[in-house]
Amino acid sequence: MNFSDETNKMMDAAKEAAKIALKYFDGEKDIRHKGKTDLVTIADIECEKKIKEMLMSEFPQHGFMGEETDQVKEGSTYWVVDPIDGTNNFASCYPIFCHSIALVKDGKPIKGVVYDPIRKEMYVTEKGKGAYLNGKQIKVTDKRNLIDCLVGMGFPYASGVKREKTLASTKNLVGNCLGIRRTGSAAIDLCYLARGLTGAVFYYELKPWDVAAAMLLVEEAGGKITDINGNDVDIFANNYAVSNSLLHTEFLSCLEAFP
């Protein structure tokens, strides 16, 4: 598959970020707290700086939204970057994390890259061109029943109604799906759905950088992504229900409505 210059640069930037992350993975990470269980490391900061430098030097016409150093976007088209998705895993040397980069226009991703440096898995997508893992096209599972599928999920950082609804939805799903999995990285959860490893994923709270690249991957792999109540979404929706599309109605029936 031939990708655009912007997508190729995103892949290059993700690989350079991976070098930085792997340098710190088994060593001192200068861990700090943004919240009680919301961490940031020196690797997050350095990875975002490297990605921003590489993208903005070649495509200065686009705005930029990053998790750690710059959450300001300008114009209708902008980069959305999660330098390390799965920071709590990374901080604990738990080997599940990734680098997520998307190009977004009017709130909708049009190009995306997610790179898992531990497994050397590069997920790439462009609007209308399909979804790819290491150059091979991927598709969501064709299973039609939730009981035949694993379900991915994650917990909000803060306590409150979102966490309560997450727990209630998890209870609803137990016994009605094959099993529940939590990787600690929303982007990886969505990538695993896009390649058919799971049939559904839900989150009651996510930020734009958590989903921007992977939500397009899911759509291009034939999946469906809405909010918890089944409404259309963009990267600012905050809560998400994602499936292979075939079992989406059944999946939504197991999730607690929000708000």
Residue 122 has pLDDT above 80, yes or no: yes
Q: In this structure, are 123 and 156 located in the same domain?
A: no
What is the share, in percent, of the chain residues with pLDDT greater than 90?
88
pLDDT at residue 73, rounded to an integer = 66
Residue 70 has pLDDT above 80, yes or no: no
What is the share, in percent, of the chain residues with pLDDT greater than 70?
97
Burial 165-194 (b: 16+ CB within 10 A, else e): bbeebbeebeeebeebeebbbbbbbbbbbb
| DSSP calls for 52-68 | HHHHHHH-TTSEEEESS
Q: In this structure, are 97 and 168 located in the same domain?
A: no
**88: CATH:** 3.30.540.10
**153: CATH:** 3.40.190.80
Q: In this structure, are 190 and 247 located in the same domain?
A: yes
Which of the two residues, 191 and 106, has the higher pLDDT score? 191
Work out how many domains the chain is built from and give that number: 2
Confidence of residue 49 (pLDDT cuts 50, 70, 90): very high
Question: What DSSP state is assigned to residue 173?
Answer: H
pLDDT at residue 33, rounded to an integer = 80
* Mean pLDDT, residues 108-123: 98
pLDDT at residue 72, rounded to an integer = 64
Q: In this structure, are 113 and 50 located in the same domain?
A: yes
pLDDT in tens, 147-185: 999 999 999 988 899 999 999 999 999 999 999 999 999
| Domain end point (choices 109, 137, 165) | 137
pLDDT at residue 118, rounded to an integer = 98
Residue at 49 is within a domain: yes
pLDDT at residue 71, rounded to an integer = 62
| Domain end point (choices 102, 137, 172) | 137
| Domain end point (choices 94, 119, 137) | 137
Q: In this structure, are 23 and 127 located in the same domain?
A: yes
Distance of alpha carbon 36 from alpha carbon 50, whole angstroms: 27
Nearest partner of 257 among 242, 239, 244, 245, judged by Cα = 239
The residue segments making up the domain with residue 99 are 5-137
Residue 69 has pLDDT above 80, yes or no: no
Distance of alpha carbon 7 from alpha carbon 115, whole angstroms: 13
Q: In this structure, are 87 and 127 located in the same domain?
A: yes
Q: In this structure, are 81 and 53 located in the same domain?
A: yes
pLDDT in tens, 31-40: 888 777 677 8
Residue at 38 is within a domain: yes
Residues 6+ apart with CB under 8 A from 27: none
pLDDT at residue 165, rounded to an integer = 97
Q: In this structure, are 193 and 92 located in the same domain?
A: no
Q: In this structure, are 75 and 197 located in the same domain?
A: no
pLDDT at residue 40, rounded to an integer = 84
Confidence of residue 259 (pLDDT cuts 50, 70, 90): confident
pLDDT in tens, 195-253: 999 999 999 999 999 999 999 999 999 999 999 999 999 999 999 999 999 999 999 99
Residue at 259 is within a domain: no
